[in-house]
A and B are shown apart, each in its own frame.
Chain A
Amino acid sequence: MKEEIIIAGFGGQGVLSMGKILAYSAIMQDMEVTWMPSYGPEMRGGTANVCVILSDKKIGSPIVTRYDTAIILNQQSMDKFENSVKPGGWLVYDPSGITRHPVRKDINICRIDAIEGAARIGNSKVYNMVVLGAFLQVKPLVSLENVEKGLAKSIPSRYAQMIPLNKAAIEDGMKNVEIVSRA
């Protein structure tokens, strides 16, 4: 098993920390991981993206151009990454802020209104966890138990009381993800 994922959106949406929590959860499941952010001047006020690779074998190249899954949280990232999803792969996106919805027919597409989800939980900071939940629903690569362990490792111990809230957000995302079309 090898899953190559791009997570892309605006800086501040929690793109990098979502990737980190996913990667840590996979380590808890004894997988190999790489987490490679785009870093550079373009990050300031602009788009942020991170490539996360999960594998049951040692990972060679951390740089890939075709993804099994793209998690897309703004229009710029949709324009950039829709065509990078491998045929038969998944595109998970948040429709708010998207003006041009995905059009490909050879991939699986699902949407998650994560702003609404975070509002249901009552904390806008768990936005990214709602999105992570949506991804885990369509690609159950990591068990919820290990995600919880991954959360505990990723969140500084002084915020440990936030773990149940994050878990609730993940479960909300799992419940409310909506399949748009299948390949």
Chain B
Amino acid sequence: MAEKILMKGNEAIAISAIRNGVDGYFGYPITPQSEVMETLMKEKPWETTGMVVLQAESETSSINMIYGGASCGKKVMTSSSSPGISLMCEGISYIAGAELPCVVVDVMRGGPGLGTIQPSQSDYNQIVKGGGHGDYHNIVLAPASAQDMYDFIDWGFDLAFKYRTPVVILADGIIGQMMEKVELHPMKPRRTAEEILKAAPWATTGKTADRERNIITSLSLDADIQEKFNRKLQAKYAVIEENEVKFSEYLTEDAEYVFVAFGCSSRICEAVVDGLREEGIKAGLLRPITLYPFPEKEIARLATQVKSMMSVELNLGQMVHDVRLAAGGKCPVGFYGRQGGNIYTPEEISAEFKKFNGLE
């Protein structure tokens, strides 16, 4: 039986990186995700797997170290929280433009600005719509448990290399700080030089006589070439949207009302659904696990089944726009949110739900 360990979501990120053969982590401390680098420093993976762990002088610096490492075909990652992620967004845009794989973890806190250090989900728009400049997307994964934090590292790198794109694990202060049981999977060794050549034939690993030069750049001064490149990116996103959508549903089969919530909010909404079911109200929950690509087809289908939907988010209304777009006017879509690091209780959400649906 696999070993089960009690750990914080942040610790799970670090342990998973070591156990899944990540080559390098470059970061800068910020609450509520500082345990990621603290755990890596404590575990000293450079003595075991050879993984590099480095505290850079800033977030701008760490994301550019990611750019460098990814250019060489290495599995590299960073983590930060909202204000730090804002500093990284230029680099993330360059990485998307250079078609490089990497994993970025954002453990969100209250914003805007320096904001608060308590949990929030207010970076949805920023991360799901890109973050940096240009016509690009990140693949965005939304963990809801410490086990997800552990599992999404491996899944994230798979997607990042499959599509040569940045993958963002969009967590929040609750998922980062909460301890839960985590099951460790067997170790995956770091890739050998030969394996890197196979997994990343585009990487700058040193030109050999039998091939053309590999060039990593996001600069293209010719408008036609740039437009052609952007169309290629969009074609890639179409494939991602077709194949990589992931969501989970709770009691939606006979539901007359559906909540849509991700991350910690989906956990809280499960309790809301249970409470409403006890009162005889047929409620259910759709949890997007990928925020980009978004489960729009499933929301469109549910919109024809239910009386209404409600998006519940720790922000003042971001994902709700994507829910409304997907529902296409087939049912009313309400919203409830809290901000600044405040967290809603199941009772509070339930009361808002009843108010919205005239069920008081």
Contacts and interface: CB of A to CB of B under 8 A. Distances in A.
Interface string B214-249: 000000000000000000000000000000000000
Nearest to A23: B6
Interface stretch (A7-15, A35-43, A106-114, A171-179): A35-43
Contacts of A64: 271, 345-346
B139 interface: no
Interface in A139-163: 153-154
Determine the main DSSP class of A at the interface with B.
Answer: mixed
A60 B349 CA distance: 15
A113 to B, nearest CB: 29
Tier of interface size on chain A: 20 to 34
Contact of A33 (B32, B180, B347): B180
Which of B6, B274, B347 has the most chain A CB atoms closer than 10 A to its own CB? Answer: B6
Interface stretch (B205-213, B262-270, B319-327): B262-270
A20 B6 contact: yes
B156 interface: no
B180 A65 contact: no
A93 to B, nearest CB: 24
A122 interface: no
B174 A62 contact: yes
Tier of interface size on chain B: 20 to 34
B4 interface: yes
A61 B271 contact: yes
A138 interface: no
A74 B340 CA distance: 28
Which of A39, A40, A60 has the most chain B CB atoms closer than 10 A to its own CB? Answer: A60
Given A61-B271, A65-B345, A40 B264 contact: no
A62 B181 contact: no
A73 to B, nearest CB: 20
B94 to A, nearest CB: 34
A30 B343 CA distance: 29
Given A32-B181, A40-B118, A60 B6 contact: no
Given A64-B345, A65-B347, A153-B5, 12 more contacts: A20-B179, A27-B6, A27-B181, A34-B178, A34-B180, A35-B179, A36-B177, A37-B177, A40-B341, A60-B267, A60-B274, A63-B344
For the complex of A and B, 3 pairs with smallest distance between CB atoms: A60-B270, A61-B271, A35-B179
23 contacts: A24-B6, A27-B6, A27-B181, A33-B179, A34-B178, A35-B6, A35-B178, A36-B174, A37-B177, A39-B118, A60-B267, A60-B271, A60-B274, A61-B269, A61-B346, A62-B264, A63-B344, A63-B345, A63-B346, A64-B271, A64-B345, A64-B346, A65-B347
